[in-house]
Amino acid sequence: MGIFDTIRDNVTARQVAEYYGLQVNRNGMACCPFHNDRHPSMKLDKRFHCFGCQADGDAVDYVGRLLGLGAKEAACKIAYDFHLDFDIWKKESKQERYARIRHEKEKEHEQNVRRAYAEELRQFRLKLTGFFHTLHNWEFEYSPTKEQWDTEVIDERYTIAINYKDRLEDYMDILDFGEDDEIYELYKHREEIISKYEREITKAEQRTIG
């Protein structure tokens, strides 16, 4: 078995990241070491992906980027540090070459899919943030006076803010700190969620203006 196969089968990106000093929380999130990251934006498991700077890859990619090494050098360092046995001098056969090329193409496709998914999540998060800021402003700007409470004349924008703002915070917490399956479940319903909030905010604005 070659060195890259050996590493892929035995070492995850999270393992090497923690070995080389990265603090990863229980949700598999960490502050990205590849940009000025103040809040955890990198997700680590078998692979790593930063939702901030879009750094992405496997254990070898992580070590190569972290230490400024080429792929073979990074792989050798991982193998040495994790005490993995491999045949570094083995000549690559024709079948192995085809398998390696196929794997690289599959890896590139997977990275493209991950980048597209990450970008859609980023856009979804931006939409939710916009809605939250609108509702947050409404909560304070249209907060009823004592007289309005007594007469039950309450601006609908305040009501919308109170009813929907907390749920938006829950959604954003899931995107920031949730498990992969929680994030994906929310992602599947993103269009429905966006449409709902756009509709409710627009209706409240129109009825108030009218």
Q: Which residues contact 24 (CB under 8 A, 6 or more apart)?
A: 14, 17, 18, 30, 44
Q: So what's the pLDDT on residue 132?
A: 95
Q: Is 45 helix (H, G, I), strand (E, B) or coil?
A: coil
pTM: 0.55
Q: So what's the pLDDT on residue 89?
A: 47
Backbone angles phi, psi at 48, to 5 degrees: -130, 150
Q: Quote the longest CA-to-CA distance of the chain.
A: 85
**What domains, with CATH codes, occur in the chain?**
3-90 (3.90.580.10), 118-209 (no CATH)
Distances (CA, A) of 58 to 52, 74, 118: 17, 11, 16
Q: So what's the pLDDT on residue 59?
A: 93
Cβ-based neighbour number of residue 159 at 10 Å: 15
Q: Is 18 helix (H, G, I), strand (E, B) or coil?
A: helix
Token pair in block for residue 9: 């089968």
Q: Is 44 helix (H, G, I), strand (E, B) or coil?
A: strand
The C-alpha atoms of residue 175 and residue 64 are separated, in whole angstroms, by 28
Element of type H or E holding 135: helix 94-141
Low-confidence ranges of the chain (pLDDT < 70): 1, 86-93, 96, 100, 209-210
